[in-house]
Structure formats: C-alpha cells, structure tokens
Structure 1
Amino acid sequence: MDHGTKSGCIGVLAEGLVSVDRTSHEAYDVVEELWKGLDLPSKALSRVQLEGASGPALPSSFRLGVLAQGSIALSALAAAQIHALRNDAQVPQVETPLQHAVIEFKSERFYTIDGEPRQPKPNAIGGLHRTADGYIRVHDSFPNHSNGMLKLVGLPLGSTRNQLADKIAQWRSLELEDAATIKGKLAAYALRSYSEWDALPQSTAIADFPISVQPISSEGKQGFPDHIPRGAFACLKGLRVVEMSRVIAAPLCGKTLAAHGADVIWVTSPNLPDLPDIDREFGRGKRTVQLDIQKATDKAKLLKIIKDCDVFIQGYRPGSLARYGLSPEELVKVNPNIVIANMSAFGPDGPWAGQRGFDSLVQTCSGMNVSEAQHADQGEPARPMPCQALDHASGYLLATGIMAALYRRIVRGGAWRADVSLAGTMKYLRSLGQYRGSSGFQCKDYKKQADVPAEYLETRETGFGRMTAVKHSANISGCEVGWKIMPKPLGSDSAEWL
C-alpha cells in the first residue's frame, strides 16, 4: 500500500489560534484522522491506496494537494464502507490519484458544452476593492447581491466596477461589512490578517474537527430500508437524497453521493436566481425539480419526497428553512429515519452562525488571502487560492459526514444530523500548515480544459449539448463510480422517487 512519502518542502504552521498542528499530515493521515474521529471501523483504512508525489500540487502556500486527495478519498472510503455493510463483505479497495484529485478541485472551470468553455460573468463588479482603511471583497455572483451593493452605495443598476470602486473607497472596511452583511442581505467581508481573524469570537467558536455528526432522535429504525438493494455494483444504489442548495459546496456533496449511485433529487426555487454555468457542472448525477415552498401545494410535494428519503441536504443559512416549517425538529416528525445534512459558511455556533458567506469571502475574512499574498511575495494585498478549495473540500467532507451518519443509523437506529462549514474547512486547511516562503507556488497549474490529461475527462450528451467534463477521481474496486444522469434545465423532473 502506497500512502505517499513525506514532503521535502516542510509545512509551517501559521501563527495564531490554530490549536491542532497537522503540518506532518499527508493525504492518508487526513483520511485516518477524520475516519477515526467519526468512529468508523478502523479496519477499512487498510483499503485506501493514495499515489502521487508529495509536495505542492497546485500553486499555493497552502497544502491543497493533501486536502484534495484526502477529502475525496475519505468520501469514497465512506461509500465503500456502506457498500460492505450492505453486502456483509470486505470493504473494497479505494484509489484516488493526486493529480486527478487536484484537477477535480477545479472541475467547474474545465467543462465545455459543444466545445465552448464557461463564459465569464458580464459586467462583473465583485472581487477585492480598496476602502478608506483597507480592502473588502464583494460577492456578485447573484444579481440580488450585485444590485444590492450598488444600491447600498448609492449607484444606479448597471454601474461599472470602477464606479463601485470609487464609492467603496469612501467607506471604512468594517463599516461597509456591517452595513452590507450584518445589517443587510448582501455578502461582503473586510480583508483581515490571521491575527485580526483570531481576535474575533467567531474564530474560537469553530471546532477543530471539521465534521460534526450528532443524533437528533432515537426513534428511527436500524438496518437498511427495503429500497436499498443488496448486491448492487454502485455503493449507494437506492439511497434517496433530497438536496436543497445553491452554488458549489452543498451541490458538490449531492453530486458526490450521486457518483456512488444515490438517487438525488435537486430541489431549487423558481423565486431565487440560479447560476446556469455552475449548475451545469454540479447538476451531474441529479434529477431536478423546482418547487416554491411558499405555496402549500409545492410544500406538500416537498414533504412527500422527504417522508420517504434517507438524506436531506440543505445549503442555506442556518435557520432560514425553519421559517417554512423545515427545521430538523419538524423534519424528524415527517421522517423519523432521516439524516439531515447542513452546509453553512461559519458553522452552527458563534455570533456569525447565521451569516451569509461563500468560499472567496471566507478566504478573505479569515486571513488566508493575506497570508497567501505574503508567501507569494509579489506585493499584493491579497491573493486568492487557485481553486475554490473550501467549497470542494467541504462538499466531500459533508458527503462523508452523511455516510458516517447513515452508518450509525443502520447500526444503531435513530435520526442523525451532519454539519460542515466553509470556515471549519478553512481552519482544518490552516492547521495543515503552509509551504515555506514562495516554494508552494513553484508547481504546475491547470487553467483550461486543454491542460487536463484526456484520461480524466469524459464526454456525454446533456440537456444543453455535448458536455466534456472531469470524471470523478475516486475509484472503488469492483464498484461503479460516475454519473448516469447528465445536466438538464432546472425543473425537468417530477417530485417522486424512482
């Protein structure tokens, strides 16, 4: 078994409030620590094979290769464990090549439809802006966020990025963050250093272990439900998943379960803006239903599929679905065997628990962008990581948490809850340490589909045209891994189980 060799380029732990030092961790160590922390059978760890050269795998001071390979392999091992439990068999061998894993961490940047890549957002106004006393990052992926920011600073719709920059330059960073994010319904965060982040109460409210699995009821039945068959070649064949989510992390969680055979119904709202270019990548493997839960008839359809599901994934702010009677307490009444999975920006605890946030914003407010720039030493105030590593890792970690909860439900019974946050993943990545100086940037990047080895790509017909995209990087011996359902327009399917 090849678990890789230790890096010659030693990771250095960032100064500040990182209470666990994981700078000696390689990808297998990540799998082992999280697997044991989730109290899953240790015997399965011998079935993991991780190949690839140790050291920087993407140009960054952060140990992104370790996180990518480790989190993807962890989720695949969890699927293999469910497969073994269902069939009373040995856990099959899991392999995740390092290069393929880091490429999959950028998968949304590499797909093409009929040979055409993703198109850049027109009239983008977001990103890092200078303020009167520093910098702030503005999120503009959704029109309500971009339009809302323009309105907040007194600009008409359609204003340019330069016009917004002139207005933001008159604000202090924390004052604009407070007006937009704390008091408003927008998403903008001040650029902070590690020391500034560590001084916030939220930094200590985030757990050192990035996956939480907790019981929420003891009423559920033990064992597998009848709709999950024995002998299937896909590890999660028959598993019923309802997903209510947007953007990357939570949709990637559902996509991961689908790659292992789960029947995933992706529920979106006709009242909320979507991101078509992102949806096409993260819609792979899923059926798609649009429901307006403010309407009694649509809410009844949702509750009908929740009643007979195994897993409910939600990627909205903590507490936001409770307003519609979809709190964990209410869902357990509908389905006492349910596993509820929550993806959030800052986790369920602390003063920022209810705040909006996205990968780029968590990088900004937590000190990661400042530290990355300091390591690159190019005179920048901030530098983002070369991929949405917090989104991607969080998606695989939540998928693992779901399968750990399923394992407990099968063995012990009851209903369970899994929680993962972008900030929790950030804290874990930070604890892995950073490469010395600018040494982490001296490696190859993958910027376009032509940079991706052909064996990591697949081409399939979709509802939008012929799609070439990155395959799933995990392989499970003797089992099917991949997506049978291809992306289609939102709302193309019926709200019912196969």
Structure 2
Amino acid sequence: MQDALAGVWRTLTGDSPPEATLTGDESVLPGPFRVPAAAAASVAAATLAAAELLRVRGIEPGTVAVDARHAAAAFGSERLLRVDGRPGPSPWGSIAGDFRAADGWVKLHCNYPRHEAAVCWALGVPAVREAVAKAVAGKRAAEVESAVVSAGGAAALMRSRAEWLAHPQGRAVADLPLVALDRIGDAPQRTLFDSERPLGGVRVLELTHVLAGPVAGRVLAAHGANVLHVGAAHLPRIPVLTMDTGQGKRSAFVALDTEGGRAKLRKLIARADVLVQSFRPGALARLGFGTQELAQLRPGLVVADLSAYGWTGPWARRRGFDSLVQMSSGIAEENAADAPAPLPVQALDHATGWLTAAAVMTALHRTVTEGGTWRARLSLAGTGAWLDRLGRKPGTPSEVDFADLLEDVDSDFGRMTRVRMAGELPGAPPQWEHATHQPGSDPAVWSPVSAGTGAAGVSAAHPG
C-alpha cells in the first residue's frame, strides 16, 4: 500500500510522501485487483494534502493514519448506507446491466430516463428487459455500443486488456498522468482564513453528478470546506448516491439553461475558491465557462475537471460511468467466466473522488505558497490504468464486518447510518458539520463562515 501512496504523492507534488501509517492488509476486498491498496493510497493522499494545509496554518497535523478496512468501507459507502434501518433504493434502472450479444458482452447504463430512452430508440424495443436482451442477442456487441452511444445513451462492450491498450482511446489514456495539475493563470498568493481546520473558510462550488465528483466534495467538506452543490431541478437524481455523497454540503438548484441562471453561476464562481465539475469535456465551455473565462472571472481559482475517458483521444467527450469504463478497459473481462466480472466496489469512482480532493488541496497549497490559478484534471479511465499498473493480489474472497466503522446521524431523509469519514488527522480530525440536505433545499448563495472555522475575517481570497 505504501508503494501505491508513494506513486500518487510523486504525481501530485514531485516528492516522496510525508510519514503516514497504513495498516491492515489487502484481503478486505475480494478479487485480483489491488483495490484495497488503491483505496488506502487515495484516502492517505487526500489526508496528507489536508495535513500540508494545516502546516501552512502553523498547526502540527500529527501523523496521518489510514486503515485498509476503513478505506475499503469508504469505497463501498453507498452500499453500506441505511436510512431508518433500510438500504437506499437500488441505483440501477430496470433494463440496466450486462447483456450477451452475438459475439460478446455489452453493458447498458440506463439509470437515467434519457439513457433508457436512448437504448430503446437505438434497439427499436420497449423498456422491457426481455425485449432488450433479445435485441442485443441478435447483434454484434460493437454494433449495440455504437447505436446506443450515437443515440445519446451510455453503453460499453466488454474488451480485453490487450484490446483496450491497442484501442486509440486506450493509447490516449496511457499517455496521460493519473493527475494533471497545471497553472492556468496568474494571481497573487492566497491568504487563508484563520481556522483550525485545513479548509476552514474555503468555498467549494460543486457542479457534479453521480459519484466521483460528489465524493470529492464530500471529502473536502469533511476537512472544513464550505461546499455548495449546484444542480438543476429538472434533472433526475439517483437517491441513494445523493444521500450518501451529500454529507456536509449545502444543495441548491440553478437553471444553467437560462441567462439568469448563468448570471447567478458567475456570481458564485467570482466568490469561490474551488470549482469541481464533471460536465462532459467542452459542455461547461459552451455555457461560457471555459478554462480561460474561469481564470479571468476568478483569479486564484482552483478548477478540478473530471471526465470518464480522459481529456484527449477520440472518446474524450463520450459519456461514461465507472461500470462502463471497467467494461471498456479490460477490468471486467480479466476474470469473466459466464458473465463480466466487475470490481467489488465502484473503485474507479471512489478513487477518482478522493484523488480529486487531494489534487484540489495540493493546488490550494500552491495558491498560498506560489499564487496562480490552477486546474486539476482526472478521469475514471486514468484511475483504471493506475489500478492496472498496481498489479494483482491473491483473489481469495473474504467476509469483512464494517459495523464498527458506521455511525448514526439525523438527516433530512430520516435517521441515517453512514460510514465514518476515513483517514486519521490528529491535528484536525475530519468530520462533517451536518448530514445530507434535500436536493435544492438551500439558497444559491455563499453562506457566511461559521464560528466553527475560527475565522477572524474575510481575506483577499473572498472579494466582495
């Protein structure tokens, strides 16, 4: 696990990581991929980045510690979530899943109504699982994938690792770093709020959906950030993921398809410190919020861009989700027998989320020590390539009890049982100030800094 952490930290900073204690072993999750090592390393990287921000504040962080079992629980947090003692509703749509085609397997991601409609239109069938299965069985997997994607849906045929590495997008991903962290504009050095928490007084605007981006915002909130998630009232949501990833955040709706909504977003960005977004590459720019526009609108901003298949190559703008990237990149094929064999948890999503939080905090550290406007770029496929490079472990199944890592809190949805925040930081233990809010229940404005941050006043980081 230390090897995985060292590689991540070198990518983020160019240096060897500070001291961190990683405990436990990799038997906490089944399967041959080193998902527990990736989980522990991702959690440790984010926690170490928070520790470095404490040092900037003159606070001794203590020794960061991560237990592999706790990291594994965090990577399965949506599966462990309970509300009033019951699991959340399944995130999977009625016709979502793996289907056998004439020459292989294809996954259809139909968790949103528009994606389900795209599958039905592409295949010429109603939204009935048996009808979809029959239609897919009569076609080649590549034909199904192409038809669904062309119709605006999300699908992936199961490729082998060798096929992916030979694919133009696989080659493009292989040339990308796990995390790209670049200075995109000039700005004076940042002055942080006076706070006893790593991200006290830091405003994070989150324009994300599904899992990786929301996980990043959840981590930043646990380290003291003021996180405002902005969505749209008309867009569908996956309730269990909303409940799980909304810890510590406020939630507002802004209609970005209107000029008034875009004006409201510009005001939010102008007073933000961080923007985390997972729009498809190019989509936010088409709304007037491209990289250069953001750098001009808010000098000193840290922007984190998340994508499915990376920011170069023929699939750079393709819709994608963790399960689809696993199918495309050879992960699901490696141990497939009668059906694709996915990872035991949505590891690409969760690892990308934690690594995004680490990249954001590393970039914030640079705005304090160097100044500048910064952009971090990550992708699910890039995280998958990193997981592949970590090698393999014995795939013996294990029964692991996570009960002692859970806590009960009151939420807008009822009595919620959730995974406690992973990663020990003695100098400022991470914690969420409140549980998940109902989507859109907060105003689309920045809330004042709470007394809990120890803020002494507004710095140059928050103009206006």
Q: Indicate the TM-score class for this superposition, using the shorter chain for normalisation.
A: over 0.9
**Aligned equivalent of 2:242, options 279, 288, 292:** 279
Q: Distance in 1 between the 2:397 and 2:436 partners?
A: 36
2:128 aligned residue? 160
* Residue 290 of structure 1, CA deviation: 0.4
Q: Distance in 2 between the 1:91 and 1:223 partners?
A: 21
**Aligned equivalent of 2:52, options 53, 59, 81:** 81
- 1:462/1:367 CA distance change after superposition, 3 Å: same
* Residue 172 of structure 1, CA deviation: 1.2
SS of structure 2 residue aligned to 1:70: helix
* Residue 422 of structure 1, CA deviation: 0.3
1:104 aligned residue? 74
- 1:300/1:310 CA distance change after superposition, 3 Å: same
Q: Provide Cα deviations, 1:275-327, integer angstroms capped at 9, x if missing partner.
A: 11210001111000100011122221111111011100101110111111011
- 1:121/1:69 CA distance change after superposition, 3 Å: closer
Within 5 Å, give how 1:363-378 maps onto structure 2. 363-373=326-336
Structure 1: gaps (5+ residues): 1-26, 374-378, 446-450
Q: Provide Cα deviations, 1:105-158, integer angstroms capped at 9, x if missing partner.
A: 1000111111111123586111110112111100011111112211221123xx
* Residue 160 of structure 1, CA deviation: 1.9
SS of structure 2 residue aligned to 1:96: strand
Q: Tell me, yes or no, if structure 1 residue 453 matches structure 2 residue 403.
A: yes
- 1:79/1:123 CA distance change after superposition, 3 Å: closer
Q: Distance in 1 between the 2:13 and 2:142 partners?
A: 41
Q: Quick check: 2:119–2:151 contact (8 Å CA) kept in 1?
A: no
Within 5 Å, give how 1:465-480 maps onto structure 2. 465-480=414-429
State which drifts further: 343-352 or 171-180: 171-180
Q: Distance in 1 between the 2:167 and 2:14 partners?
A: 34
* TM-score normalised per structure 1: 0.87
* Residue 353 of structure 1, CA deviation: 0.7
SS of structure 1 residue aligned to 2:28: coil
1:20 aligned residue? none
1:380 aligned residue? 338
* Residue 380 of structure 1, CA deviation: 2.2
Letter in 2 for 1:311: V
**Aligned equivalent of 1:441, options 396, 402, 405:** 396
Identity of aligned residues (%): 37
2:24 aligned residue? 52
Q: Quick check: 1:209–1:428 contact (8 Å CA) kept in 2?
A: no
Report the aligned-residue RMSD. 1.6
Q: Quick check: 2:91–2:238 contact (8 Å CA) kept in 1?
A: no
Q: Distance in 2 between the 1:61 and 1:179 partners?
A: 33
Q: Distance in 2 between the 1:208 and 1:337 partners?
A: 25
* Residue 423 of structure 1, CA deviation: 0.3
**Aligned equivalent of 1:203, options 145, 170, 175:** 170
**Aligned equivalent of 1:430, options 372, 377, 388:** 388
Within 5 Å, give how 1:473-488 maps onto structure 2. 473-488=422-437
1:148 aligned residue? 118
* Residue 31 of structure 1, CA deviation: 1.8
1:221 aligned residue? 188
* Residue 185 of structure 1, CA deviation: 1.1
2:461 aligned residue? none
1:35 aligned residue? 9
* Residue 382 of structure 1, CA deviation: 1.6
**Aligned equivalent of 1:405, options 363, 377, 382:** 363
* Residue 91 of structure 1, CA deviation: 4.2
Q: Distance in 2 between the 1:233 and 1:82 partners?
A: 10
1:492 aligned residue? 441
Letter in 2 for 1:323: R
Q: Quick check: 2:202–2:225 contact (8 Å CA) kept in 1?
A: yes
Q: Quick check: 1:51–1:96 contact (8 Å CA) kept in 2?
A: yes
* Residue 169 of structure 1, CA deviation: 1.2
Q: Distance in 1 between the 2:348 and 2:91 partners?
A: 21
Q: Distance in 1 between the 2:176 and 2:390 partners?
A: 12
Letter in 2 for 1:441: T
- 1:52/1:122 CA distance change after superposition, 3 Å: closer
* TM-score normalised per structure 2: 0.93
2:140 aligned residue? 172
Q: Distance in 2 between the 1:293 and 1:313 partners?
A: 16
2:456 aligned residue? none
* Residue 411 of structure 1, CA deviation: 1.3
